[in-house]
Amino acid sequence: MSGINMTRRGLIGAGGGAVAATLAAGMVPAAARIQAGTGARVAGQPMPDGVKLPATPPRPKRQDSVGFAIVGLGGYALNQMMPRFVDAERAHVAAIVSGNPDKLAKVGDAYGVPGDARYSYDRFDEIASDDRIDAIYIVLPTGLHADWAVRAFGAGKHVLCEKPMALSSADCERMIAAGRRANRKLMIAYRSHFEPFNVEAMKLMSQKAVGDIRLLRTEQSYRMGPTTPRENWRVSRALAGGGPLEDYGIYGLQSALYLTGEMPESISATTFRPTGDPRFAEIFAHVGSQWRFPSGAVAHLATSYDSAGTNFAHVRGTRGALIMDPATSYSGQKMRLEGREPRELNPGDPGVQFARQLDHFADAVRDNKPIRTPGEMGLRDTRLIEAIYAAAERGQTVRLAPDGRMRG
């Protein structure tokens, strides 16, 4: 596993065992819950860098368009998702929720959100009586997803939740149960399921375009700049869990599942945390895992916050290979089939993934259509993340049931 220090010494010396033990036990750090309840650290968060607000407020295209309240006006909401609502047929921004009054004013004006549909976190529960809002889109730090999803269901709304679903399988189960009690939809925003390259790759693999899959390799990494857990939630254990695996490596984990079409039967893993680096005071720098599938296929997954950027998925079968690099970006995907008839594939514009995801959710809300990426999928993936940390912590291969639960 290139770039990954496989020794246990660094991890134990840095106290990483405690991190892994907490994560493996499925415990949600208390700090995440406290912040979720109060939104205390949120009030002063300024507008993230590079935000371009629309020059004219977009309007819903259809009468039955689903109205979303966006919770958390950070980088992904403002730079990626909110600008894509204009491409969706059946989804519009009906309300915004933020702890920063200045941001509420600027973003609200740009998106044409009425003054009384701009909510602070403290006023969130009033959303229950706001009929303009059908669904809540949770774009908050991961450690806050579960509590806000439960609050959203409590307000009688449907929930689209950013990936990863939550930091423990117990929290995922809590979210699913709250959605069932409220009789509302829950979807995890796994955008690759709506992105043409990945959709085509799923189809090709199910048609055995590379023969029987034998080996799969995924890597997602980038080098995080200097920061600390106080400054950046992505390096805070309470809000980000173990770090790169939940945030970025989840794309490789997902690819391994949807490209093979199988669940692993066993996992072994390694984590590494250097000492004395404030970026990794609470989270891991790298996580590597090896999976074995019932078919005999073997997958190697690596993810890192401390190595030069990459994002690829390689599948090697008995008759050829599928190379996706970059595999799951916002744009610029590349994909080629190797084998008897090698060819570059270009199945469509990756930029459509955002609007397609929104419309898919809107169709589920309006027409009761099944959700391609439901809460159960997020739960399954969170169980696998827990298994990876447990395997690394125990220094042993972990065996899994078909639903991703650890056997013993």
- DSSP letter (8 states) at residue 313: E
> Smallest distance from the beta carbon of 220 to ligand NAD, in angstroms?
11
Q: How far is the CB of 45 from ligand NAD (least distance, A)?
A: 3
Residue 57 corresponds to which amino acid? P
Nearest-approach distance from CB 344 to ligand NAD, in angstroms: 24
- CB closer to ligand NAD, 248 vs 293: 248
Binds ligand NAD by CB under 6 A, chosen from 19, 20, 35, 204: 35
We find the least distance from the C-beta atom of residue 230 to ligand NAD, in angstroms, to be 10
For residue 11, the Cα-to-chain-centroid distance in whole angstroms is: 25
Site for ligand NAD in 116-175 (CB under 6 A): 139-142, 144, 162-163
Give the number of other Cβ atoms within 10 Å of residue 126's Cβ: 12
Residues with catalytic roles: 163, 251
Minimal distance, residue 372 CB to ligand NAD, in Å: 15
Which residue, 243 or 317, has its beta carbon nearer to ligand NAD?
A: 243
The pair of structure tokens assigned to 181 is 């009690």
Give the nearer residue to ligand NAD in terms of CB position, either 192 or 268: 192
Specify whether the CB–CB gap between 375 and 176 falls below 8 A.
Answer: yes
Under the criterion CB under 6 A, does residue 48 sit at the interface with ligand NAD? Answer: yes
On the CB side of 267, CA atoms within 13 Å amount to: 30
Give me the residue label for tokens 């309007």.
59
Q: Which residues contact 280 (CB under 8 A, 6 or more apart)?
A: 14, 235, 243, 273, 274, 305, 306
In angstroms, give the least distance from the CB of 296 to ligand NAD. Answer: 32
* Beta-bridge partner residues of 399: 266
How far from chain centre, in Å, is Cα 165? 6
How far, rounded to the nearest angstrom, does the alpha carbon of residue 398 sit from its chain's CA centroid? 24
CB contact at 8 A, 268 and 289: yes
Interface with ligand NAD, residue 106, by CB under 6 A: no
Residue 359 interacts with ligand NAD (CB under 6 A)? no
> Of 97 and 209, which CB lies nearer to ligand NAD in the complex structure?
97
Among 33, 76, 222, 351, binds ligand NAD (CB under 6 A): 76
Q: Which of 3, 10, 58, 75 binds ligand NAD (CB under 6 A)?
A: 75
For 240-376, where are the E strands, in sequence order? Answer: 266-272, 286-292, 298-304, 306-317, 320-324, 335-339, 343-345
- Picking from 122, 125, 121, 123, the residue whose alpha carbon sits closest to that of residue 141 is 121
In angstroms, the CA 136 to CA 186 distance is 10
Please state, as a whole number, how many other Cβ atoms lie within 10 Å of the Cβ of residue 341. 7
Residue nearest to ligand NAD (CB): 74
Nearer to ligand NAD, 147 or 200 (CB): 147
Shortest Å, Cβ 197 to ligand NAD: 15
* Residue where the block lists tokens 């009425």: 114
Q: How far apart are CA 133 and CA 158, in angstroms?
A: 9
Scan residues 199-258 and list those touching ligand NAD (CB under 6 A).
233, 247
State the minimum distance, in angstroms, from the CB of residue 56 to ligand NAD: 24
> Footprint of ligand NAD on residues 318-357 (CB under 6 A)?
none
Quote the Cα angle for 172-178-183, to 5°.
Answer: 125
The correct pick among 113, 186, 189, 205 for binding ligand NAD (CB under 6 A) is 189
Which of 11, 28, 69, 77 lies at the binding interface for ligand NAD (CB under 6 A)?
A: 77
Nearer of residues 268 and 304 to ligand NAD, judged by Cβ: 304
- Comparing CB distances to ligand NAD, the nearer of 176 and 189 is 189
| Rounded (to 5) percent helix, strand, coil in the chain | 40, 25, 35
Q: Which is nearer to ligand NAD, 247 or 386 (CB)?
A: 247
Counting residues that bind ligand NAD (by CB under 6 A) gives: 23
Residues that bind ligand NAD (CB under 6 A): 35, 39, 41-42, 45, 48, 72-77, 139-142, 144, 162-163, 189, 191, 233, 247
